[in-house]
Structure 1
Amino acid sequence: MKKIVFGLLGLVMIISCGRPQKRQPVKSEFRNDVVIKTTPVLDQGRSPLCWAYAMLATIESEHLMQGDSVHLSVDYMARMLLKDEATNYYFNRNDGKVTMRGMASMVFDLMAMYGMLPYDSYYNNVSVDYPVVARTVQQIARASSSLSMLNERIDKTLDEQIGYLPGTIMMLGARYTPMEFAHSVCRPEEYLSLTSFSHHPFGKPFILEVPDNQMRDYFLNVPVDTLMHTIVHALKQGHPVCWEGDISEPGFDFKRGVAVLQNDKADYDQLDRQRAFETFRTTDDHCMELCGLAHDRRGHRFFIAKNSWGPNNRFGGFMYLSYQYVKLKTIAVYLSKDTMQY
């Protein structure tokens, strides 16, 4: 893939992938080696929906790299999750709380149950305050005396707060149901969920023990060097990767557009990862789409990530994650099965 010098012109190229911004170009220490096409940078606001933004962005980029174009609705994923959460809260007799936190794998779980909608068919022009909506849904579930009453009240509230669901989906002159549209976009079985921790055997799937794994999804466990090779290979082949990991490190700086480890060493190994995970120094905090490879002036390798915090940083909402940051701080990744090579 053609190399692009990420100086003055490179910044304009990256920003053009996001919302138009008038800003002065800045010099960058990075040179891009691989750049995957992306849809515009979005802003998740106060919502904890990074998992949906990142996974849908990854699916969108997969289509763009194949010469197709699709823009998917995060609001539809959020609505279906809230309905699920309300039902669970009702039947669990008010145990716990309605939450919208999750892992990127939940997109596939929700898609399998409810399908998917394109962005143009279901989006809200005014930013939805999802934490407030989640609290309202919980109050409704607590006050409902039957499932039919719950569903009626929840649908009315979500219609008012997020928007009315479309009667039909029209794409290129064809009419789709949400399930048919989802199948036309991708199927969950086309993607793999990978992780790398030594408290489970490698080569076997296991239920990842993080609080946000609400649906108890399985992840294939591979050695960390295999994980990193797979990520790099996928990006070099033009396939985006959905990344889920820890952003609590002081070296994760959105405004600067860079994530590095302050006490960086030459290499981190499987034992380093395991210690950080077991001592909760690596936690499941955030999801982003990995959409490229780069290096700095000293030759250190970086991944380009599309964030969902809006375009207001020096790279128009994109970030550069050091290779060692990703190696140590990754919780899980999601990518097309076509990219897998051991």
Structure 2
Amino acid sequence: MKKLLCGFALFLASANAISQKYEFQPVKDIPCEPVISQDATGTCWSFSTTSFLEAEILRKTGKHVDLSEMYNVRHTYPKKVYNYVMRQGHAQFGEGGLSHDVIYSAKEFGLMPQSAYSGLTPGSDKYNHQQLEKELEEVAKKNATSKSPDAAQWKAEVSTILDKYMGVEPADFTFEGKKYTAKSFLEMTKLDLSDYVTITSFTQSPFYSNFILDIPDNFAYGSFYNLPLDEFVKNIDNALEKGYTLALDTDVSEPTFSGKAGVAVLPENTADAAAILSEIKPEKNVTQEFRQHEYENFDTQDDHLMHIVGKVKDQKGNLYYKVKNSWGTDAKSVANGGFVYMSVPYLKLKAISVMVHKDGLLPATKKALKI
């Protein structure tokens, strides 16, 4: 009997060691602006990258600035229509985009604070671009299939649609008692938009090359620096350690990515898919080959962008990236105040790319990339 009791006690101890509820502790916290919601839009790319630029302004100047996400969106939608029309429909059209689209927009059109341009029409307090996208797509498709489209006319139609659903942007505005244009406001932020680079890790192009990544939302044909997987992760870690945040493009279609649970994890055993959302379980070992395989069979796609602002660890010492999401803060639908704790294996497999200040890169990487 004594042996049976001892055996049962050992079993319970073993079970508790294997299955433990997550207890997270902060490891690295980099200041960022509060979590907000993209609402019913596919504009995570602007919410994440705008948050990234806000953190950069805070890092460089100590100033908290609430930038307008929709100002970037407003100036990117016409480019998406143009791309679709000029490729005669042989292109993707939709609300999606990537971090470099925000940088391109800011370089050409500047930035605005949220107080100057919210992108909401009078009486609206939440974003919804479903009808906006539908009407833009109608204009794009009609002119892409026309034998002789009138560019001046369809561009005017696009502008009218944007005014109707996003409001008219001001020519100038007042911020903290001073008058600015979008261009002079960008100058005030002290951001140097040429400082930002995007790194990734795939084998279809040589490592340390600069190439155009073949993903649907890369309509602007932005280029990416290619690194071996381990070096890709080391550069993310280096940036965070030095106080730089990163804009993240990743796949969130896995059942083990959960805003409601507040974790993104990669179970070694598929049978643990449900339990791992609340309990520590063994995770996969992700290799360069496995990452490439998942990308090329479409199990890894670029379907969401977020903002990496730090690290946490669980009670076993496993590290997770603290990722700021744009799904709001309602505790009924998200955990951790809207942040997601992403395990290292999940990031290694599912992160498409990250944008970071070039000084956040390892010196050896900068040298190899000739940055």
Scaled to the shorter chain, the TM-score interval is: 0.7 to 0.9
* CA offsets 1:261-317 (integer angstroms, 9 cap, x no match): 022546322122112212222111111100111110111110101000111222111
Cross-structure match for 2:82: 87
Pick from 290, 296, 300 the counterpart of residue 308 of structure 2.
290
Partner Cα distance (2:73, 2:224) in 1: 23
TM-score by length of 2: 0.79
CA displacement at 1:90 relative to structure 2: 4.4
Q: Alpha carbons of 1:220 and 1:129: their partners in 2 closer, same or farther (altered >3 Å)? A: same
Gaps of 5+ in 2: 1-20, 269-281, 365-371
CA displacement at 1:192 relative to structure 2: 1.1
Q: Give yes or no for contact 1:82–1:98 (8 Å, CA) kept in 2.
A: no
Partner Cα distance (1:292, 1:111) in 2: 25
Partner Cα distance (2:165, 2:253) in 1: 32
User: What one-letter code is carried by the residue in structure 2 that aligns with 1:221?
Assistant: N
Partner Cα distance (2:77, 2:236) in 1: 32
CA displacement at 1:91 relative to structure 2: 4.2
Q: Give yes or no for contact 1:39–1:60 (8 Å, CA) kept in 2.
A: yes
User: What one-letter code is carried by the residue in structure 1 that aligns with 2:28?
Assistant: V
Partner Cα distance (1:280, 1:98) in 2: 19
Q: Give yes or no for contact 1:63–1:70 (8 Å, CA) kept in 2.
A: yes
Cross-structure match for 1:320: 341
CA displacement at 1:72 relative to structure 2: 1.3
Q: Give yes or no for contact 1:81–1:100 (8 Å, CA) kept in 2.
A: no
Q: How does 1:145-156 map to 2 (within 5 A)?
A: 146-156=150-160
Q: Give yes or no for contact 2:38–2:127 (8 Å, CA) kept in 1.
A: no
Structure 2 residue 37 is matched with structure 1 residue 43: yes
CA displacement at 1:183 relative to structure 2: 4.0
Deviates further, 229-238 or 180-189:
180-189
Q: How does 1:55-94 map to 2 (within 5 A)?
A: 55-66=49-60, 67-93=62-88
Structure 2 residue 228 is matched with structure 1 residue 223: yes
User: What one-letter code is carried by the residue in structure 1 that aligns with 2:52?
Assistant: T
Q: Give yes or no for contact 1:97–1:138 (8 Å, CA) kept in 2.
A: no
Cross-structure match for 2:5: none
Q: Alpha carbons of 1:280 and 1:93: their partners in 2 closer, same or farther (altered >3 Å)? A: closer
CA displacement at 1:93 relative to structure 2: 4.9
Q: Alpha carbons of 1:295 and 1:199: their partners in 2 closer, same or farther (altered >3 Å)? A: same
User: What one-letter code is carried by the residue in structure 2 that aligns with 1:99?
Assistant: G
Cross-structure match for 1:159: 163
Cross-structure match for 2:274: none
CA displacement at 1:111 relative to structure 2: 1.9
Q: Percent identity?
A: 31
Structure 2 residue 204 is matched with structure 1 residue 237: no
Q: Give yes or no for contact 2:248–2:355 (8 Å, CA) kept in 1.
A: yes
Q: Secondary structure at the match of 1:193?
A: strand
Q: Alpha carbons of 1:259 and 1:198: their partners in 2 closer, same or farther (altered >3 Å)? A: same
Higher share in helix = 2
Cross-structure match for 1:176: 180
Q: Give yes or no for contact 2:83–2:219 (8 Å, CA) kept in 1.
A: no
Q: Secondary structure at the match of 2:337?
A: coil
Partner Cα distance (2:286, 2:88) in 1: 46
Q: Give yes or no for contact 2:46–2:70 (8 Å, CA) kept in 1.
A: no
Q: Give yes or no for contact 2:265–2:283 (8 Å, CA) kept in 1.
A: no
Pick from 253, 260, 272 the counterpart of residue 255 of structure 1.
260
Q: Secondary structure at the match of 2:352?
A: strand
CA displacement at 1:171 relative to structure 2: 3.4
Gaps of 5+ in 1: 1-26
Partner Cα distance (2:284, 2:22) in 1: 23
* CA offsets 1:70-110 (integer angstroms, 9 cap, x no match): 22111111111222233344445566564221111211122
Which protein shows a greater Rg? 2
CA displacement at 1:153 relative to structure 2: 3.1
Q: Alpha carbons of 1:89 and 1:194: their partners in 2 closer, same or farther (altered >3 Å)? A: closer
Deviates further, 97-106 or 139-148:
139-148
Q: Alpha carbons of 1:98 and 1:213: their partners in 2 closer, same or farther (altered >3 Å)? A: closer
Partner Cα distance (1:112, 1:308) in 2: 24
TM-score by length of 1: 0.85
Cross-structure match for 2:102: 107
Cross-structure match for 1:126: 125
Q: Give yes or no for contact 2:48–2:247 (8 Å, CA) kept in 1.
A: yes
Deviates further, 155-164 or 285-294:
155-164
Q: Secondary structure at the match of 1:121?
A: coil
Structure 2 residue 187 is matched with structure 1 residue 187: no
Q: Alpha carbons of 1:188 and 1:33: their partners in 2 closer, same or farther (altered >3 Å)? A: same
CA displacement at 1:137 relative to structure 2: 2.0
